Every structure is written in structure tokens, then in C-alpha cells.
Amino acid sequence: MKTSKFNIYHFEKIESTNLHALQNIKTYSDKDIILADIQTAGRGRLERKWISTSSENLYFSIILKPEFEKISEIPLVNITQLMAVCTAQALSEYKISPHIKWPNDILISGAKICGILSEISFTGNNFDGFVIGTGINLNMSPSQDELVDKAATSLYNELGYKVDRNIFLNRILHIFFSVYSDFKRKGFHSIKDRYLAYFPYLGKPVRVINGIEDMEGIVKDIADDGSLIIEKSDGSEKNIILGDMTCSIQV
């Protein structure tokens, strides 16, 4: 029996839903979803690992094969930000207050609940598609290692009760695909207000590292292209497209 209007390919155990989607992208269609109970080699941003041993959490990748003239029409970083907004909306329906830490981590009271890793597939010069991989700490118990150090949290940890994984996944997919067509035409600008509603860092001091530079400043704004604008101590403004942001103040 089909219980979802989305094409969800469910694996009990897999290396990584992103890796599987990338390696098999030609056999999948636009908007197909790869879901795993457990990942043995979950991938995180900046070459980190995403520990994926709890089958009560959510690990999934969305395959997107948009038609466009130029690859730059839909920057990958912006689709990742769209996914962050949609996941934050789904979480906030449980009466909690998720924050987006630029560009796309989702935190609750400073602890991470969701990470997103988007990747792109090419064959030669031909674009095959995007893979938007999302990991959400859904029903992981507060005693599990990842949560003990308080760097991470789960929805269960916040609510005190577990939520149905399939219902939650379908809710996120519904939110994502209800805005995706509009987003494809209009870009990040069309979701900027919604992004800012989950972004409590305006006016806050932050540090951003991107592997090349180490930058510090006060957050001025999120630009129309989704980049982070900071004001440095010398008064100059810097527009940052990629990086990892940290803020020493609890927001």
C-alpha cells in the first residue's frame, strides 16, 4: 500500500543516502526520495561524518533534476537554505523555536537538531541533478552519546514524546514541494523573509571560517542571494557566500 504521495525508496541500511543517490542518479527521477533507517558512512558538511546509527532519526535525500539554461540559475547553496526553511517550519509546528544558523544548520537553544548536505552530479559537462541530504535528530533518546554533550538535541529531547517518522518526513516534503516551483523561478529572494524569521543573528557578533579566510564581524543582513553580510571592526562590509558561522552569544 502506498502511504505517501512521494516516491520514497526506503533502505534499512545503506552507506549514505547522498552517496547512493549520486551513484545511481540516472536510475532515479526528479523528486525521488532516498530514505535510510541507518547509514554506515553518513556524510556531513566540510568532510565531517554524520553519525547515523539511530533508526529512530531521519536520514533522507531528495533528488532534483530541474531544467534550466545555466547551472548558476539555481545555486545549490540556496536550495539548501530552502530545505532549512522548510525543515524549520515543520519543526516549529511542534511549538518549539528552531533557529537557522547560516547557511543551513538548524539549532534549538544552541544545540543542533538538523544538518543538510547538498551535492551536485555531473557527467562530463552535463548536469545530472542535485541531491539534497537532510539528517534530523527526531526520536533519539536524550541519553544517546550525541546528545549527552549538549552540542546536539533531538525533537524527542525537546518535546518529551516521540513523533512518527513517516508523518514528519511527509510533512517536510509537502512543505518543500509546495514552494519549490516558485523558488525555482524566483530564487532565494522569494524565501528571504521566511529565512530571516528563523535567523536570530542580526546585530550579533559572529566568526566565519571557509577554509581560506577567518572572518569576524557583526551580522548586518542576509543578502538577496542568501549570502551573509557582516560588518568588520574597521567598518567595512563583507559579503560571504560560503562558510561555517559560529556565534559566541546564545541566541
Q: Quick one: which segment of 4-12, 42-50, 71-79, 234-242 binds ligand BTN (CB under 6 A)? A: 42-50
| Residues 221-250 interacting with ligand BTN (rule: CB under 6 A) | none
Q: Quick one: which segment of 56-64, 159-167, 190-198, 212-220 binds ligand BTN (CB under 6 A)? A: 56-64
Q: Count of alpha carbons within 13 Å of 117, Cβ hemisphere only?
A: 19
Q: Considering only residues 25, 32, 37, 50, which one is a binding residue for ligand BTN as defined by CB under 6 A?
A: 50
Residue 174 near ligand BTN by CB under 6 A = no
Residue 201 near ligand BTN by CB under 6 A = no
Residue 205 near ligand BTN by CB under 6 A = no
Residue 39 near ligand BTN by CB under 6 A = yes
Q: Which is nearer to ligand BTN, 27 or 125 (CB)?
A: 27
**Shortest Cβ 221–ligand BTN spacing (Å):** 23
Residue 45 near ligand BTN by CB under 6 A = yes
* Residues 114 and 138: beta-carbon distance below 8 Å: no
| Nine cell digits for residue 186 | 524566483
**Shortest Cβ 68–ligand BTN spacing (Å):** 24
The closest of 161, 177, 192, 182 to 78, measured between CA atoms, is 192
d(CA 81, CA 77): 6
Q: Amino acid identity of 7?
A: N
Residue 42 near ligand BTN by CB under 6 A = yes
The whole-angstrom distance between residue 131's C-alpha and the CA centroid of its chain comes to 11
* Residues 153 and 131: beta-carbon distance below 8 Å: no
Sign of CA dihedral 101, 154, 78, 187: negative
Residue 129 near ligand BTN by CB under 6 A = no
Q: Which is nearer to ligand BTN, 17 or 87 (CB)?
A: 17
* Residues 7 and 29: beta-carbon distance below 8 Å: yes
Q: Considering only residues 22, 32, 33, 61, which one is a binding residue for ligand BTN as defined by CB under 6 A?
A: 61
**Shortest Cβ 70–ligand BTN spacing (Å):** 27
Burial class of 174 by CB neighbour count within 10 A (0 to 12, 13 to 18, 19+): middle
Spell out the residues 6+ positions from residue 8 whose beta carbon is closer than 8 angstroms to its own. 33, 35, 60, 169
Task: Report the 10 Å Cβ neighbour count for 140.
Answer: 25
Sign of CA dihedral 162, 163, 164, 169: negative
Residue 134 near ligand BTN by CB under 6 A = yes
Eight-state DSSP code of residue 104: T
**Shortest Cβ 61–ligand BTN spacing (Å):** 5
Q: Quick one: which segment of 5-13, 37-45, 139-147, 172-180 binds ligand BTN (CB under 6 A)? A: 37-45
**Shortest Cβ 25–ligand BTN spacing (Å):** 14
Contact residues toward ligand BTN (CB under 6 A) are: 16-18, 39, 42-45, 48, 50, 59-61, 105, 115-117, 133-135
